[in-house]
Amino acid sequence: MLRSAAILSVVSLFAAAPVAAEGDPVVIELFTSQGCSSCPPADAIMHELAERDDVIGLALHVDYWDYIGWKDEYADPGHTTRQRAYARQGGRSMIYTPQMVVNGQQDVVGAQTVELDRLIEAHLLAAPEASVTATRAGNAVTVDVTPVELPAGERYDVRLVQYSPMRHASIRRGELAGHELDYANVVESWQVAGQWDGVAPQQFSAELTSDLPAVVLVQQAGHGPIVAATRVK
């Protein structure tokens, strides 16, 4: 794993930041690439996020840097599509790496730990809009969603995400050629368990595609805000 003094200082700063302790976990989606020389500091932060109980950190590897000499082994075109949808939702015309999206709402460029921690605290302290629980029996998952204070007339996707807690890459070409890098919470699969109107409690069932850990995101349809999230237990 790449361990420069700069990366270590970024991680130390983030680890020392104060942490709020209320509300659902805050979802941090990191759009990253093995072909991006600016990404390792943000990838290092994801290792810290993965250790926190009050955060669900997910690394979404994108494919649009593959052309510069190294094909990201964990990239998925669907991740690029999701990032583009966030850009449209936020009125932006460009996408880039590294980018962190907080609860489907605000974005943080690169490895700005102070701004990221400020947003995490704000979301942790915000009044809940909905609640979600998820239980697992083998690969079968049962999800229960309950409204708390949701706007009328919206619909919500109940998304089931599986990830690898740790993946390794030996990069041989491109901007990071020669580096041995470890990646935390690499997203491996997405599925929508169903759509919810947000009016009354509802239960959903889904079948996981593997034994990997999973989380549930309740997100306003059209890549809007994430209003509730939980780990599958």
Write out the DSSP string of the chain.
Answer: ----HHHHHHHHHHHTS-----SSPEEEEEEE-TT-TT-HHHHHHHHHHTT-TTEEEEEEE-STTGGGS---TT--HHHHHHHHHHHHHTT-S---SSEEEETTTEEEETT-HHHHHHHHHHHHHSPPSEEEEEEEETTEEEEEEEESS--TT--EEEEEEEEEEEEEEE--SSTTTT-EEEEEEEEEEEEEEEEE-SSS-EEEEEE-SSSS-EEEEEEETTT--EEEEEE--
Lowest mean pLDDT among 6-15, 156-165, 214-223: 6-15
Mean pLDDT of 143-156: 96
What's the confidence (pLDDT) of residue 137?
A: 97
pLDDT for residue 8 is more than 90: no
Could you tell me the pLDDT band of residue 16, with boundaries at 50, 70 and 90?
very low
Does position 135 have pLDDT exceeding 60, yes or no? yes
181-192 pLDDT, tens digit per residue, is 999 999 999 999
- pLDDT tens for each residue of 50-63: 999 999 999 999 99
- What is the tens place of the pLDDT at every residue in 218-232? 999 999 999 999 999
What is the model's pLDDT at position 110? 87
Extents of the domains making up the chain:
5-231
